[in-house]
Amino acid sequence: MAKQKSFLATGLVAALVLAGACRGKHSRLAVENEEPAEAAPRMAATLKMNDPAAPAQLVKGVYGLEGGAWRWTAGHFSILLRSPLSAAQHGATLTFGFTIPDVVAQKLGPLALTASVGATKLKSETYAKPGPYTFTADVPAELLTKDSVTVDFALDKSIPAGAMDQRELGVIATSAGLESK
């Protein structure tokens, strides 16, 4: 019993000493990661399809990178773009760089491409021959009041999945962008 009391007393004294030792002021040291934080890639207002950050802005209907430079689209596809500075006051110009391959032109004939933001149709244009094109459309300022905007594109026809490829095929996309007016 005496040993037990002595053990308890020793334990109590040790606890009091430790508690008393922690009363002083100590500088607080924040623990930080030693590796530099990688900043999330900033969303682009102009996007090249071969940009390594591009997939984050390809919302739907745009396939994987091919040839190190371009991507097939489906008949309906959407691309998220950052609203350029001052576009909320002055509007912007949308550009979409693409190519209509010979095989698509032969199978489908003339293609109509329409761009819209939400329920607002921006423009529709028809392309009768194969080759590279740049589609442009004015985007009203009232559609660019947020940090980003999703542009929806629609082709009036596309090659169905299984006819030539396992994917539905539309056009070959090379770039998309918004530039302030």
Q: Which one, of 49, 111, 128, 127, lies nearest residue 76 by Cα?
A: 111
User: What confidence tens digit (pLDDT) does each residue in 33-54 have?
Assistant: 444 444 455 799 999 999 999 9
pTM: 0.77
pLDDT of residue 41: 59
pLDDT > 90: what percent of the chain?
A: 76
CA 75 to chain centre: 20
pLDDT > 70: what percent of the chain?
A: 77
Task: Tell me what the mean pLDDT of segment 78-91 comes to.
Answer: 96
pLDDT of residue 11: 46
Spell out the long-range contacts of 122-127 with Cβ–Cβ below 8 A and sequence spacing 24 or more: 122/94, 122/151, 127/100
Q: Tell me which amino acid residue 52 is.
A: P
pLDDT of residue 42: 75
Q: Tell me which amino acid residue 12 is.
A: L
What CA–CA distances, in Å, run from 179 to 82, 97, 156? Answer: 10, 14, 26
More confident residue, 21 or 158: 158
pLDDT of residue 9: 45
User: What confidence tens digit (pLDDT) does each residue in 1-29 have?
Assistant: 544 444 444 444 444 444 444 455 544 44
| Fold (CATH) for 46-180 | Jelly Rolls (2.60.120)
